[in-house]
Amino acid sequence: MNAGGRRLLRLLPHHHRRVFSSQSLPPPPAAPRRRVVVTGLGMVTPLGCGVGPTWSRLIDGRCGIRALSPADLKVDGFDETVVMHTYEQLSSKVAGVVPCGKEEGEFDEETWVRSKDHRSIARFISYALCSTDEAIRDANWMPEEPEKKERTGVSIGGGTGSISDILDAAHMICEKRLRRLSPFFIPRILINMAAGHVSMKYGFMGPNHAAVTACATGAHSIGDATRMIQFGDADVMVAGGTESSIDALSIAGFCRSKALATKYNSLPEASSRPFDCDRDGFVIAEGSGVMVLEELDHAKERGAKIYAEVRGYGMSGDAHHITQPHIEGKGAMLAMTRALEQSGLSPNQVDYINAHATSTPLGDVAEANAIGSVFSDHSTSGALALSSTKGATGHLLGAAGSVEAIFAVLAIHHGIAPPTLNLQKPDPVFHGGFMPLSAPREMPIRAALSNSFGFGGTNASLLFSGPP
């Protein structure tokens, strides 16, 4: 300590002098590395409401994409002329819409959206609540004891929140009706309110977290929740993503950025074509995917059903462009490599990859290049199954990563890799044994990788293996 520091120390009261002590503190305790498993699954997708209907329809090669109608645009407060003009101006008129109704495999709006108790709950929150309900029932995890609730957290993110509510509020300003703005406006649009409502409904008092990383949100939410369990912040985490972005403003915004498919407006089921030469953009979609993650010993002690283990979580940034990936897929390579390194597995021990591939001309090639670089000879051996399930679901944006992570887990659980729909003429980047699946493949799957990449160059890879 120099002379000035010593003079200052003499002037301070004695009880403040310890701040300047040269005595070092002991190091923090070593962070525990706890193993994390998947014990519950829940989903709402364009293929159906529930894991069972969605998975069976995916494997059967069915598609959840349909033609948009003016009613889908959620502009009820505008006059019919404005609604029709808006609809006609949209260059993309297809979407992956969640089927609604009271039949099996349909989303019941009366239960989740329209009751008086749901005035503060926007549609993206309702999807999260519905998929969470299925996941925790599947996991048989609805604790009553305060101690168990305190050790259970929530990590559910979203991409855009409720843009339709924002549009309605802006319309009120234009019509000088601002005093009629709902007091629930802010709680309806905040993305973290999906996690908040889940926490409040079930009394979960562990970490309450919401990732917002565009189309990588669902994967980051699951990966972050895994880290929270590994670090000891919780024993159980409810994790995933949710999205409800089928509205006039969201679709118009993606149309203006030239991100959406436009070639197949008259043939909706053919519009999402990952890895196909005739692809021209992604198909906007909605839904939610949630999984229950649990510390391994905790799951074993209560006799929980274990679907898979989370073996690796890799993250990276492209540092390249606001919407476009690097053509060589450098960020994707880093995310996959880091997930593999963390897992302790070698590339040739991965049997299935659920690709992010959204059906965009540049993005699909960049990811294929990255997979070829990381998996090298294994990618061309014919032993590595590769597919993009977005041909069946469209792109669920903030929910895509969690829905596709569930597909990867189910691929391990059922021993079947799902197909890529509409793959009629594969992109020239593929050759020999390096070829996406155009039909489901029954095979033992030891480990499966799920990729998710988002605008802003944010990347996440989740690596799952069979139950320990």
Q: What are the catalytic residues?
A: 215, 356, 395
**Token pair belonging to 109:** 């709006």
Say if residues 374 and 336 touch (Cβ distance below 8 Å). yes
What would the two tokens of residue 455 be?
């605008």
Measuring CA to CA, how many Å separate 415 from each of 14, 79, 169, 301, 450? 69, 52, 48, 26, 16
Quickly list DSSP for 280-343: -SB-BB-EEEEEEEEEHHHHHHTT----EEEEEEEEEE--S-SSPPPTT-HHHHHHHHHHHHHH
Q: Which two tokens stand for residue 230?
A: 């590994």
The single-letter code of the amino acid at 337 is: T
Return the amino acid letter for 100: C
Ordered DSSP codes for 258-297: T-B--TTTTSGGGS--TTBTT--SB-BB-EEEEEEEEEHH
Secondary element (H or E) of residue 241: strand 236-243
How many CA atoms lie less than 13 Å away from 144 in the CB half-sphere?
A: 0
The tokens describing 369, both together, are 């290049």
Token pair belonging to 141: 């995890």
**Residue 89 is encoded by which pair of tokens?**
């101006």
- The three-class DSSP label of residue 105 is coil
Residue 347: which region, alpha, beta or left (left: phi > 0; alpha: psi -120 to 50)?
A: alpha
| Distance (Å, whole) CA 259 – CA 262 | 9
| φ/ψ (deg, to 5) at 253 | -65, -45
Instruction: Report the relative pairing of strands 152-158 and 236-243 from DSSP bridges.
Output: parallel
Give the chain's end-to-end CA distance (angstroms, integer).
55
